[in-house]
Amino acid sequence: MRVTGGQVFDLEKDFVARDLCTDGGLLTSSSVDGETLDANGCYVIPGLIDVHFHGCVGEDFSDATPDGLRRMADFELSQGVTYICPAGMTLPEDQLKRICENAAAHKASAASGAELAGVNLEGPFLCMAKKGAQNGAFLHDPDGVMLHRLQEAAQGLVKLVTVAPEQPGSLDFIRSAREDGITVSIGHTTADYDTASAAYAAGARQATHLFNAMPPFTHRAPGVIGAAFDHPEVRAELICDGIHIHPSVVRATFRLFGADRVILVSDSLRATGMPDGKYPFGGQEIVVHGNRATMADDPNTLAGSVTSLMGCLRQAVRFGIPMADAVRAASLNPARAIGIDHRAGSLEDGKEASFVLLDKEDLSIRAIVFKGTLVQQ
């Protein structure tokens, strides 16, 4: 396939007017099959990678149902999200094990949809005071042995885990998670600057939905946000749905961390792609109105978003983030977080041919190509 006439995302020059060629499932320097795709008036960007979302189209990853996961993968691909690393909630270990087993079974048999590139365990190693929408009844002290059992159930698919570093045993937990090949993120935490800095020094590499469910960044108490900034190898997740973070803070965070350290995440719930109403959520209930989702028993607690990652990318651009920076934060940076950047996350020859054509005027999707196959136009 030869994609012609588009502005192609480029890691050095932002966007370049060039053809993009595929051979089989990979990007190549030239194409021989004669198939062409017209990209005039379009950006050509890498397929997006969502490393923190819970559900969509009425399904939740934590339900651990094969059908639900397949429907989630299908919906995400239809939104231009070509690789997914869905997140489990704070639940008992036997349910977390079922979530991991379901993911491994899906990975072995999936015939359609976005690629399941990893599993994110957002719970249960969090703190009660900042549990947010997580179920406090199932919180657990950081436990590297439990995490190892879950990694075995997932057949190595667990790529991300969140921990509150003020909880007992967190530094040992961080070290053992790394031995299991898992990126540790700091979140749902009351940690101060020193506690968070010690966690980053021990090998944590990410901050879970920066600003949300953690102490604020203030002049004498910089907290997790200051600690993350002071460790250059740490990346920060940002929920850019227009609800969780004020546009000014989105702009400030991109300036502070730089575009290569921000990971746009959707944190989307099962109500994403569904009408307003009440929905079950990790053993609790949420209310969805417009693009706002809150806990049914506490209208002041946000439960997550109902915006897909592509919607978050459009919001970021609307808020003034340069297009190329927003694209990088939703593709290459998350690819690095879960260790798939050697094959996904940018449009270089030899990488997988997963990309999206977006109308340059309104960023609507014109076409989606997944591993060399046109799946939507």
Contact 357, 6 (CB under 8 A): yes
Please name which of 190, 183, 182, 261 lies closest in space to residue 228, comparing C-alpha atoms.
261
Q: Which amino acid is at 257?
A: F
Distance (Å, whole) CA 343 – CA 165 = 32
| Residue that is written with structure tokens 């693009």 in the block | 291
From the list 50, 63, 143, 267, the catalytic residue is 267
SS (H, E, C) 308-335: CHHHHHHHHHHCCCCHHHHHHHHCHHHH
Distance (Å, whole) CA 8 – CA 44 = 5
Distance (Å, whole) CA 158 – CA 155 = 8
Number of H helices, E strands in the chain: 10, 26
Task: Give the burial class of 60: count Cβ atoms within 10 A of its Cβ; 0-12 exposed, 13-18 middle, 19 or more buried.
Answer: buried
Contact 312, 52 (CB under 8 A): no
Please name which of 366, 247, 252, 367 lies closest in space to residue 315, comparing C-alpha atoms.
247
Distance (Å, whole) CA 204 – CA 336 = 14
User: Which phi and psi (to 5°) does residue 153 adopt?
Assistant: -60, -30
19 catalytically annotated: no
| Structure tokens, 81 | 């999200």
Sign of CA dihedral 185, 187, 190, 193: positive
Which amino acids are annotated catalytic? 267
